[in-house]
Structure 1
Amino acid sequence: MRKRPSQARAWKTVLTIFEATVQILDTEDEKRLTTNRVAERAGFSIGTLYQYFPSMESILLAMIDLERRRVMDRLDALLAEAEASQAHPREYLRLFIRITVGAFGTGDRGRRLLLKRGWKLDHTEPVIAATRETTERIRVALERRNHPDFPPPSPAVLFVVSRAVLGAVRAAVLEDSGLPGTPEFEDALVRMAEGMLGKVLPPP
């Protein structure tokens, strides 16, 4: 962003730009997603939009970053709960994967198009840093809980598991697969992660 909003009015402007972007993705041809069209849909001059965003890609990156932060906060709260809970870690593993898939792999037409754009831009430093941060948070949670069925994993195992889950979601979005959000997709990811992170147990 060119300028970080610090007042409620400025944040309202930014959020209106985000909403207009989603509306265009949801109801119009994706080729019409331009800064001029977003400004028009939002009811602003193009100059107002450029005060905050230099390009269409910067708008998408900001939207993706905001959503990623929201999801990371939710996942962090889940991991904190898992550390203190007496429930089996496998229950939280499933919830963690469900939230991840729901946030980054499912949605209506506009959201799916936004997710696709986001996954195509997943090479940016903020995305890489966020992935590392979440992986580190998982490691800390597993070490603190230290459950006999889920011992603290090696760095290599944790890297492979975390990137495998995200990679499967990424591929499903980019390939327009209908699998994300289905029980079969969730079960496959849970079995894969559980098989690498801990001892596979029979279903409860």
Structure 2
Amino acid sequence: MAGRKDQIYLQALMDAERPARMVGLFTGHAMKPQDLERLVRACVGSMRQEDAGASLTLSPLGSGFPPGAAQRTWRISVAGTAESAPHDCLVQVFEMRDPESPHRVLLDHIGGRDQELSQAASHLQQNAQTYVSIASGKLDEQERIHPFQNLVSLFASALGAAIVDPAAAIVTNDPGEWAEAMEQSLQIEKEMGALRR
């Protein structure tokens, strides 16, 4: 029940707020959902070195259902500066052993693309302890793309995590490489949309 409710938020975002992206972070750290607050605080500190007005605001979505179940889904509002409008992202945290974790579907999908991606996905399956998904919609303007990229890059760097982006067909430990591939995939999606008109 809890897993289905967590996935409803993600599916609604991916379906309704196009162009949308979901990336998976795979880390060797055993991370519990409550560790997300510490991670956010550390990332805010890093962001504020660049701009004192930067912020990340963490809000739980839904709740741990049934009672006592762990919170797994949050909204994080990202603002790179005091003047910028916050952009909302959906974040979910799962232990790799959790049978309700959606990471298997993601790894099967990316692994089915080619041999190199399949090997990278297999390595992640064997070595990661925690899966963190980060999703965002309305990625049609740089003002919304940059906060999403910043959040993914900060989390990946802090966790020493590999980034899996099925839309950009990439598995990497390099946030810069991922950001470039993501922008290219958004540009291709935009051009394909223009061709359909």
Establish whether TM, by shorter chain, passes 0.5. Answer: no
Q: TM-score, normalised by structure 1?
A: 0.30
Give the number of the structure with larger relative contact order, counting CA–CA contacts within 8 Å between residues 6 or more apart.
Answer: 2
